[in-house]
Structure 1
Amino acid sequence: MALGNGKVALVIGASRGMGRQIAIDLAKNGYSVVVAAKSTSDAQSAAAPFPPDPNSPQSTISTVEREIVETGGRATAIPVDVRDQASVQKLVDRTIETYGRLDVLVYNSGAIWWASVEDTPVKRFQLMQRVNPEGLYGAVFAALPHLKKSSSSSSSPSGGVGGGGRIVVVSPPIYSRFFRGKTAYAMGKVGMSVLTKGLAMDLERQGLKDMAITSLWPAVAIESAATRRLTLSNPSEARDLRKPAIFSAAVLAVLRAPVSSVNGLLELDEDFLRSDAGGRVTDFSGYSVVPGAQPRRIMPATLPDLTVAEQDDEGKRMDSAKTEGRAKL
């Protein structure tokens, strides 16, 4: 049976690069896929080459939908502006109207600006916060009721392989070097990882044993529109790049893994694939953009454990939703 047999995945940030690859591979594995982003186009235009360069502006959710459908998969392109919660809610509502359920949410949308604080204008900082942590929070908030329904109706055994209601976030493990030279960007991305940790605790406390949220991040730089610009000026840089397929493979491995091994996990794509839960993959040579190259790892070999000795000793827990009622915003 295919991994996603009868299930529905929503991939936000699916027009190019990693998001496109994730959407295509989910469809190949039996998921009906909603591909979402801001960019749309006339995917049926006879004048445009097809499929377009996956790292070019010509690759849109419209062309990704066509790629999936023409290879026998099910896909629907729905535009979204993650800075607008009404747009995000409409996206989730249309997903349910179209397919009747939602089982997987992948949040790949991202705004990038790597510079020092003094070289990061406030408007650029605000854009990154709106697209990165705020966009993720809004998507999760809108999707959670439907992901919970998926979990409760899942035919998988509690905590078993492939269970219902999965969220995968593109955000990093938390460690000090990540902040260097890109503080404003790191503030948002680390905030996304904090959401992963916190929501995982919520799910456990609520006894939702078939639900999980996981953060993944590349161990090696991935070929994308951003890295393409670097390699155009210095072609040798391509030796340090991997194809987006490695990240997509890690996403699929997370969805196959038992909830207990991935809920709240902040992990690197390569490291997860090497693990027992990820399939014990050891040969990554096929993912190199330049055949025979050994791309340089950009992430630490070991990462800090965020738990503390008195992990469960927090005193009396406050719940504003119960003491003051749910906020009506």
Structure 2
Amino acid sequence: MTSTSTRQVALVVGASRGIGRQIAIDLAKEGYAVVVAAKSTTPEADLAKLSPFPPDPNSPKSTITTVAREITLAGGEATAIPVDTTSYASIQQLTYARLDVLIYNSGAIWWAPVAATPMKRFQLMQRVNVEGLYGAVQEALPHLKRQDPRGGGPKRIVVVCPPIYSRFFRGKTAYAMGKVGMSVMVKGLGVDFEREGLVEGGVGVGGLWPAVAIESAATEQFTRKDPSYAKDLRKSTIFSDAVLAMLKAPASVMNGQLELDEDFLRKQAGVTDFSKYSVIPGSSPRRIMPAELPDLTVKEQDDEGMRTDSSKL
């Protein structure tokens, strides 16, 4: 991303296809200069051979190169930077002169009981989901703190991670360990922002998760087996709209919160009709998330005892 850009800059990690691609496209439409980051790329010589263009957004042909080209052809500003989120050194190469928004969408998935989850699968999920997020946040924080939010718009981190509740762990413990770890990052970093007085200045972190299954490469395995499954899917635009709503909401409203896309759009953007998001027009997709989520606070919430900051010892 060039240092001469006067636009706010958004880094979308995991933006090659599906939800991440849609978020990058819509951020560009909102006027952001977008850093499109993921592992998959397309050689420049092969771009002209792609037909149709843009390629299927849920296929391997959709890469950070094609997404960046989509954005620039539409008049937006985008830079594609390859990244391997299992490597902190690779994350550190995501260099930019300015950063206003970090969206962490990278994720490794393996849904199986513990006995059927090999160690390599477990390690991959922790490295992509937890360590990758932690590394991206570490690199983003100096940028978010250094700039004056009141003079340049909101400074936000949005993480694709779920609310914390017991049913989520069933049948996918290893996956849930990583995803809930990401949710803990949102809750804990939100407290850090509050204590440092950053929320009042417009800095905030929030988690977002689909209330209804979204059309993606992950759900294609189900629609291939049974095309009727598409009636229970929504378009990725609902999630992208929720991300934009989270960026526009006051930091005090979204900071440290774990939200569902539909519920956040209803509360903060006044959306009441979600029919336009259905993959099959006229269908009523099944909600996969609970209608009510548990309150994680305790009566002794404000009693921290002898809180210690190891970095100051």
- Give TM-score, length-normalised by structure 1: 0.91
Q: How does 1:13-24 map to 2 (within 5 A)?
A: 13-24=14-25
Deviation at 1:226? 1.3
Decide which of 143, 149, 155 is 2:151's aligned counterpart.
155
Deviation at 1:169? 0.1
Instruction: Give the aligned partner of residue 300 of structure 1.
Output: 290
Deviation at 1:17? 0.2
Q: How does 1:252-291 map to 2 (within 5 A)?
A: 252-275=244-267, 278-291=268-281
The number of equivalent residue pairs is: 305
Local SS of the residue matching 2:47? coil
Instruction: Give the aligned partner of residue 205 of structure 2.
Output: 213
Decide which of 68, 71, 75 is 2:74's aligned counterpart.
71
Query: CA deviation digits over 1:163-221, x for unaligned, max 9?
Result: 2x200000000000000010000000000000000000001111112210000000000
Decide which of 196, 207, 216 is 1:224's aligned counterpart.
216
1:111 correspondence with 2:103: no
Deviation at 1:280? 1.2
Aligned partners of 2:119 and 2:38: how far apart in 1? 24
Aligned partners of 2:270 and 2:263: how far apart in 1? 9
Aligned partners of 2:101 and 2:49: how far apart in 1? 35
Instruction: Give the aligned partner of residue 63 of structure 2.
Output: 60
Local SS of the residue matching 1:143? helix
Deviation at 1:153? 4.8
For the structure 1 residues 318 and 186, does the alpha-carbon distance in structure 2 shift closer, same or farther, using more than 3 Å as the test? same
Instruction: Give the aligned partner of residue 3 of structure 2.
Output: none
Local SS of the residue matching 1:115? coil
Aligned partners of 1:171 and 1:137: how far apart in 2? 13
User: Identity of aligned pairs, percent?
Assistant: 69
Structure 1 unmatched runs, 5+: 157-161, 324-329
Q: How does 1:1-329 map to 2 (within 5 A)?
A: 6-42=7-43, 45-49=47-51, 50-91=53-94, 93=95, 96=96, 100-150=97-147, 152-155=148-151, 163=154, 165-209=155-199, 210-275=202-267, 278-323=268-313
Local SS of the residue matching 1:86? helix
Structure 2 unmatched runs, 5+: 1-5
Aligned partners of 1:228 and 1:206: how far apart in 2? 43
- Give TM-score, length-normalised by structure 2: 0.95
Local SS of the residue matching 1:155? helix
- Measured on the aligned residues, the alpha-carbon RMSD in Å equals 1.3
AA aligned opposite 2:136 = A
Query: CA deviation digits over 1:50-83, x for unaligned, max 9?
Result: 1100000000000000000000000000000011
Aligned partners of 1:47 and 1:82: how far apart in 2? 29
Aligned partners of 2:149 and 2:184: how far apart in 1? 28
Aligned partners of 1:184 and 1:68: how far apart in 2? 36
